[in-house]
Each structure stands twice: as C-alpha cells, then as structure tokens.
Amino acid sequence: MKTWLVMTSLLLGLSAHAETQALDLFTGTLEKNGSEWMLKRCDIAKSRYLLRNTNGEASGVEALLALQNTKPNEVITVALLASYHAQDSQHSLHIASVQGRKQGSCHLDALFD
C-alpha cells in the first residue's frame, strides 16, 4: 500500500511539472513585421519566431526588448531566454528575459555585405 501511495505521488508531481515550458536561449536579429516583433534566429535556416511576453501576448514586447531609442533601420542582435510555442503553424517565443543585446548582425552572410 505504501509503495502504491509513493508511486501515485511521484506520477502526480511529474504531470504537474510537465505543464511548465522549458526555457532555452535563442539568439538572432530583430525584425518588425507590421506591428509585431520577430526574431530571425542565427542558424542556417534563419528560423523566424513571433515574440511574445511571458503571458503569450504581443503587448509590451518592445519595452521588454528596450527598443525605445533604436534607429529605424538599425540591426540589433539579441539573446533571449524564452520558451518555444507552436500553434496553427505559427512559431512564437515567450520571453522570460533578455540575456544580451548588441548592434549589428549575428548572421554569417552579413559578413559579406
């Protein structure tokens, strides 16, 4: 009986933990797509992700990225601690924090421009 109770407690604890999203580091350049911000990841595929706040909303992303004083055509590379989400073929990142930010591109092909 004790073994069954311990196993049930462990399984319930694991299922509660499964609902949390894993955080990962995403590095890429920022792009404006209409009124929304996107991250173009610095990988071979140049994957694009819609940027969202921790609640999954587009509002507040610009303040979170601290983009108030950037120039219109300025290329900015950021490193974001975020969780990945996919819904109806839309890929998005829910930003937990900004780990780094610098001017310029992280894409390899930008070296040849």
113: confidence class by pLDDT, cuts 50, 70, 90: low
Q: What is the pLDDT of residue 15?
A: 44
Q: What is the pLDDT of residue 2?
A: 56
37: confidence class by pLDDT, cuts 50, 70, 90: very high
More confident residue, 42 or 73: 42
CATH architecture of 23-111: Beta Barrel (2.40)
Q: What is the mean pLDDT of residues 41-51?
A: 92
The answer to whether 85 touches 93, Cβ cutoff 8 Å, is: yes
Considering only CA atoms, give the Rg of the chain.
Answer: 18
What pTM did the predictor assign?
Answer: 0.76
6: confidence class by pLDDT, cuts 50, 70, 90: very low
Q: What is the mean pLDDT of residues 65-76?
A: 82
**Residue 33 CB coordination number (10 Å):** 10
Confidence check: pLDDT of 7 > 80: no
Confidence check: pLDDT of 85 > 70: yes
**E-assigned strand segments in the chain:** 24-33, 36-41, 48-52, 76-87, 90-103
